[in-house]
Structure 1
Amino acid sequence: MGCLGNLLWFLFGGALSGLSWCLAGCLWCITIIGIPVGVQCFKLASLSFFPFGKQVRYGGGAASFLLNIVWLLFSGLFLALEHVLFGVLLCITVIGIPFGLQQFKLAKLALMPFGAEVY
Structure 2
Amino acid sequence: MPFLSLLLNILWVVTGGIWMAAGWLFAAILMVITIVGIPWARSAFTIAWYTLLPFGQTAVRRDEFRGREDIGTGLLGTLGNILWFVLAGWWLALGHLVAAVGLAITIIGLPFAWAHLKLALLALWPVGTEIVTVDEAESRRRLLGRGAY
- Band of TM-score, shorter chain: over 0.9
Task: Report the counterpart of residue 34 of structure 1 in structure 2.
Answer: 37
Q: Deviations over 1:3-55 (max 9, x none)?
A: 00001101111110100000001111012221121111111000000000111
Q: Percent identity?
A: 39
Please tell me the residue identity of whatever aligns with 1:71. W
Please tell me the residue identity of whatever aligns with 1:64. G
Task: Report the counterpart of residue 106 of structure 2 in structure 1.
Answer: 93
Q: Secondary structure at the match of 2:41?
A: helix
> How do residues 68-87 of structure 1 correspond to structure 2 at under 5 angstroms?
68-87=81-100
Distance in 2 (alpha carbons) for counterparts of 1:97 and 1:13:
14
Structure 2: give runs of 5+ residues left out of the alignment: 64-72, 133-149
Larger radius of gyration: 2
Give the TM-score taking structure 2 as reference length: 0.77
Please tell me the residue identity of whatever aligns with 1:51. P
Task: Report the counterpart of residue 57 of structure 2 in structure 1.
Answer: 54
Distance in 1 (alpha carbons) for counterparts of 2:87 and 2:38:
14
Give the TM-score taking structure 1 as reference length: 0.95
Structure 1: give runs of 5+ residues left out of the alignment: none
Distance in 2 (alpha carbons) for counterparts of 1:11 and 1:23:
20
Please tell me the residue identity of whatever aligns with 1:37. W
Task: Report the counterpart of residue 114 of structure 1 in structure 2.
Answer: 127
Please tell me the residue identity of whatever aligns with 1:105. K
Please tell me the residue identity of whatever aligns with 2:58. Q
